[in-house]
Amino acid sequence: MKKVYLMTPGPTPVPSEVRLAEAREIIHHRTKEFSDTIKIVSEGLKPIFKTKNSVFTFAASGTGAMEGAVCNLLSKGDKALVIKGGKFGERWANLCKAYGVEAISVEVEWGDVADPAVVKKHLDDNPDIKVVFATLCETSTATEYPIREYGEVIKSRPNTLLVVDAISGLAACDLQVDNWGVDVCVSGSQKSLMLPPGLAFASISDKAWPFMDKSNLPKFYFDFKKARKALEKSDTPFTPAVSLIMGLKQALEMINADGGIDKILERVTVMGDATQAAMKALGLKLISKHPAKALTGIFAPDGVDGKELKKTLEKKYGVMVAGGQDQFEGKVIRLTHLGYICQFDIITAIAAIELSLHDLKHPVELGKGLKAAQEVFAKASI
Ligand SMILES: *Cc1c(COP(=O)(O)O)cnc(C)c1O
C-alpha cells in the first residue's frame, strides 16, 4: 500500500490522540463539562499567542477571524493600511474592499517583506489610518514578516491598531503578541495546532476594544463583543464545534507535554533549517528573500515544470506538497515543517524531491540534500 505523507502548509497531519479525542461521544455545549473545556482551551491558547489577553475561538476556517477583525474594528470609509506581498496579504485587501474600507496597500514583491520605515512613512502621511493589516508568515511565498518592527512603529500611536494574520505563523514563527503590540492576532486550527480545519482564533488587546464601540460595519456571527460576553461565562454565543474543541484540548496538552511553545518553535526552526539546507545543497532556489521556518518554498529548477514536480511527488511517492498560486503557479512547490511533522517526515520529503527530480531528468546527486539535512539534525538538540 502506498502511504500518503501530508506535507502541505495546511491542512497538516493530525495525531491519533487528537483524532481519538474528537471521536468521543458528543456532549452538549451548555454543560459544566463543556464550559470547563472552553475555559481550559481559552487559557491554554494564551501562552501559544504569548498574550495575557483573551483568545476567542470560532467555528470557522481562519478567514472567519480575519473577517471578524475587519468588521469589528472599522467603519465604512475608514482607512486601513494593508501589507500585500502574496495571497494572504491580498486577502486582507479583499476583505477591506468587501466591507467598504479604504485600503492603502504597501505593495511588496512576492518573496520580499515590507520595510518598517515604509509602514512608518504611510502612517506619518496618513495619521487617520486606523488599522495596519499584516501577515506573520505569508504562506504563498514562504516568507516571514518583521511583525516586531511593525509593532514598534504602531505601538505608540493611540489611534492605530496592528492586526496580524498568524494563521500559519502561530506556533511556527517567533510571535510575541503582547510584547510586540499586536492588537488582534488571528489564527486557525489546521496549521501548527495539529487539528483538522474548522476553528478560527483571535486574541484581542485592551487597545482594540474601544475601536469596536465606534465600528458601524455589519456583523453578527463574528461579533467580537458577543464572543467576549459569552467567554466571560466560559460560554460561546452559538453552537461551538464541540468535537474540534475536544481535539484542541488534547492538542494543547500534547504541546505542553512536549515542552511547551518555545520547544515547538525550536523544533520547527531546526526542521526549517534542515529543509532549506537540503534545498540549497541540491542547487534549488528558495522563493523567499526572508524565508520563514514554518514552510519552505522553492522554484522548480530550469527545465522542470513545477506542476510535474508536484504531481510526481504526489502520485509516485505519496508526498503531498503545495504548488504555487497566481504568479507562482506551476513554478514553485511548498512543503511545511509545522505542527505534527518530525525530522523523518522531512527526510522522507527531501528523498522524494531528489527522486522526483531524477525522474524528471534533472541532474541530481541522490542523497546530497539528505546529507545536508542530516548534518543540521546531527548538530541540533531537538
Ligand atoms: C492557511 C492560511 C490562511 C487561510 O485560512 P483558512 O483557514 O483557509 O481560512 C490565511 N492566511 C494564511 C497566512 C494562511 O497560511
Mean pLDDT of 94-121: 98
Residue with cell 517583506: 113
Does ligand 1 come within 6 angstroms of the Cβ of 198? no
| pLDDT of amino acid 381 | 83
What residues contact 153, with CB distance under 8 A and at least 6 apart?
116, 119, 120, 123
Does ligand 1 come within 6 angstroms of the Cβ of 68? no
Q: Which of 85, 78, 48 is nearest to 255 (CA)?
A: 48
Q: Are strands 102-107 and 129-135 parallel, antiparallel or unpaired?
A: unpaired
- pLDDT tens, 43-75? 999 999 999 999 999 999 999 999 999 999 999
CA of 360 to the centre of ligand 1 (A): 31
Does ligand 1 come within 6 angstroms of the Cβ of 65? no
Does ligand 1 come within 6 angstroms of the Cβ of 103? no
Residue 359 to residue 229: CA distance in whole angstroms: 58
- pLDDT tens, 306-327? 999 999 999 999 999 999 999 9
| pLDDT of amino acid 168 | 98
Residues spanned by the domain of 55: 16-257
Mean pLDDT of 165-194: 98
What residues contact 212, with CB distance under 8 A and at least 6 apart?
72, 73, 224, 225
| pLDDT of amino acid 80 | 98
| pLDDT of amino acid 2 | 85
Cα of 91 vs its chain's centroid, Å = 13
Q: Is 157 exposed, middle or buried (0-12, 13-18, 19+ CB in 10 A)?
A: middle
Q: What is the mean pLDDT of the chain?
A: 97
| pLDDT of amino acid 17 | 98
User: Does one domain contain both 226 and 372?
Assistant: no
- pLDDT tens, 9-23? 999 999 999 999 999
User: Does one domain contain both 30 and 155?
Assistant: yes
Q: 1 pLDDT band (50/70/90 cuts)?
A: confident
From 257, 292, 324, the end of a domain falls on 257
| pLDDT of amino acid 13 | 97
CA of 70 to the centre of ligand 1 (A): 15
User: Does one domain contain both 176 and 303?
Assistant: no
Q: Residue 81 above 90 pLDDT? A: yes
User: Is the Cβ–Cβ distance between 96 and 67 less than 8 Å?
Assistant: no
From 236, 257, 278, the end of a domain falls on 257
**Number of structural domains in the chain:** 2
Q: 382 pLDDT band (50/70/90 cuts)?
A: confident
Residue 291 to residue 198: CA distance in whole angstroms: 27
Does ligand 1 come within 6 angstroms of the Cβ of 243? no
| pLDDT of amino acid 51 | 98
CA of 368 to the centre of ligand 1 (A): 33
Q: Which residue has the higher pLDDT, 2 or 214?
A: 214
Alpha-carbon distances, residue 289 vs 98, 113, 163, 212 (angstroms): 31, 8, 23, 37
From 200, 232, 257, the end of a domain falls on 257
Does ligand 1 come within 6 angstroms of the Cβ of 10? yes
